[in-house]
Amino acid sequence: MSVIIEWQIFTAETRSDGTWNSNSPALAELLNAIASPEKIKEPALDIEDAMAHLAIKGLPYFKITSVTTGRGISSTKKFSNTNANINFS
C-alpha cells in the first residue's frame, strides 16, 4: 500500500520500508520523526496507512489524497482541512 498526503504544494508519500518521500526534504525529515512505524502506538493492519493517519494528526493542515493498495487500486479520500502559512523549506 502507498499513501499520499498533501498540503498546498507539499506532498509526501509513504514507503514500504517505513520512511517518507517528499518534494520537500525538510518535510520528509519531519514526517520521519513524527510518523514513523516506531511512533505508532496501536496495532495496525497496514503500517503505511497508520503512518499517514499519524502524520495528518500531527500536521492537521495536510490531508490524505491517494491510497494505492498492493493490487494497484487507487482511491481518493477527502478530509477537511484549513489553509495556514506553514513553511517547511
β-pair type (20-22, 63-68): unpaired
Segments making up each domain of the chain, as ranges: 2-75
Note if the pTM is more than 0.85. no
Task: Give the C-alpha separation, 23 to 40, whole Å.
Answer: 24
Cell of 6: 498533501
pLDDT of residue 74: 52
* Residues contacting 10, CB < 8 A, separation 6+: 22, 23, 24, 27, 62, 88
Convert the pLDDT of each residue in 34-79 to its tens digit: 999 999 998 999 999 999 999 999 988 888 888 887 655 555 444 3
